[in-house]
Amino acid sequence: MAFFFCVTARALFRGVDCLFPMYQNNIMGDKIERIQTGARIEKRLLKVLKGTAEYLNISLGDLIEAIALHSFENKPPFSDETLKKIAQLKAVYDLDWSAEDSHKFAEDET
């Protein structure tokens, strides 16, 4: 039997609604294989992602995996409290983009 727990100490001890549940022991016993990737990402967006991962006390890779898996199932990956923290981080790093902007990105060719 798998022991269900939430990755973040913040969620365990402060009652934060954590939407990143993990299993200490994978129910299926499946092992995953992670690989290093050279993905490029916009600088301010990366800072917000890193800040969010730090806030949730998880790795950047775990955050990206959770966001992707939640979006594949059309489920929201963040609690209201985490969304408030993300809004603060976006303000700190001057990130004023929305999901709609992702279709308009153009990279400087110089």
Residue ranges with strand state E in the chain = 4-6, 21-23
Q: Where are the domains of the chain?
A: 4-30+41-99
Q: Can you give the pLDDT at residue 7?
A: 44
What pLDDT score was predicted for residue 47?
A: 98
| pLDDT over 90 at 85, yes or no | yes
Segment 53-59 mean pLDDT: 96
pLDDT in tens, 59-82: 999 999 999 999 999 999 999 999
For 51, other C-beta atoms within 10 Å of its C-beta total 17
Computed over every residue of the chain, the mean pLDDT equals 79
For position 68, what pLDDT does the model report?
Answer: 95
- R_g (Cα) of the chain, nearest Å: 16
